[in-house]
Homo-oligomer: A and B are copies of this chain.
Amino acid sequence: MGNEVPRLYAADVTFVIAEKQHPVFGRDGDDLELTIEIPLVKALTGCCLPIPLLGGEKMELKIDEIIHPGYEKIITGQGMPTTKEAASRGNLKVRFLINFPTELTDEQRATAVGILGDSSS
């Protein structure tokens, strides 16, 4: 009994790969998603934002147009490397969380009506 060698049977080995969530980027297939907080004034007047990239570098993203809730900027080729083609990568989708002021004085409100009264509908 003590000399018996245990028999080995051929069987499938299943690897379960759990993907760890990245602290900065979300993932949607080959695309990466990034949410940036910006103050309302930058959303309205344009901004130049440092955008972290997957490799650790940063790029400057210059936006001149108005950033409204739901606005999305797509940076092509800065997503995940795709499995199909070696040199091909998905995109990086940048979304925005617009921070509003918590209060405005009567004077600030009056000025806001002056500049926004006819432009937002």
Contacts and interface: CB of A to CB of B under 8 A. Distances in A.
A14 B67 CA distance: 52
How many copies of the shown chain assemble into the complex? 2
A45 B115 CA distance: 12
Interface residues of A, number: 32
Nearest to A44: B112
19 contacts: A39-B120, A39-B121, A40-B120, A41-B116, A43-B100, A44-B101, A44-B109, A45-B104, A45-B113, A65-B103, A66-B100, A68-B98, A69-B97, A100-B120, A101-B120, A104-B119, A108-B115, A111-B114, A112-B112
Interface of A: 39-41, 43-46, 65-69, 97-104, 108-109, 111-117, 119-121
